A = this chain, B = another copy of it.
């Protein structure tokens, strides 16, 4: 045993980095370890605070850069497809909303359409799986690429923010 990984998944992570040409740094290891150890899908700042206890001069920018690099390399997923801005809908009856319903989200242009599916409305979570939560709603979010974005799919545009770039 040469490298003696502290966690069983650390070896797999290092291999993944090497395969993608990503350097294996102390910060990168610690950031991924914090993410893999957490069961609560932490935000960048929560990761930053956790890792900084071991690496006190870690920068928050490094956390962001690593999360993006690891996401592009497939080692990290983001839970929160629509986090860049709030999205609203009418909640008054007769205006298309008000009753619980489901959404079709375009992962490219971030547009959100309503989705009506009776089978989804009937979904219930069995009490054994709710981990003590008091359940308020079950929402199904179907992610995909909308017709508009499929049409202009000449330039694949894998970026997370296809809309309104400046500078």
A contact set with B: CB distance below 8 Å:
8-9, 12-13, 16, 32, 35-36, 39-45, 47, 67, 71, 74-80, 82-97, 103-104, 106-107, 111-117, 119-120, 123, 125-126, 129-147, 150
Contacts and interface: CB of A to CB of B under 8 A. Distances in A.
Q: Which 3 A-B pairs have the closest CB atoms?
A: A132-B147, A41-B112, A133-B144
Contacts of A131: 104, 113, 146-147
Contacts of A92: 9, 12-13, 16, 36, 75
A41 B133 contact: no
Nearest to A73: B91
Contact of A140 (B45, B117, B138): B138
B94 A76 contact: no
A144 to B, nearest CB: 4
B139 A141 contact: yes
A92 to B, nearest CB: 6
A147 B106 CA distance: 33
Tell me if A's interface is mostly helix, strand, loop or mixed: mixed
Contacts of A104: 130-131, 133
A93 B9 CA distance: 9
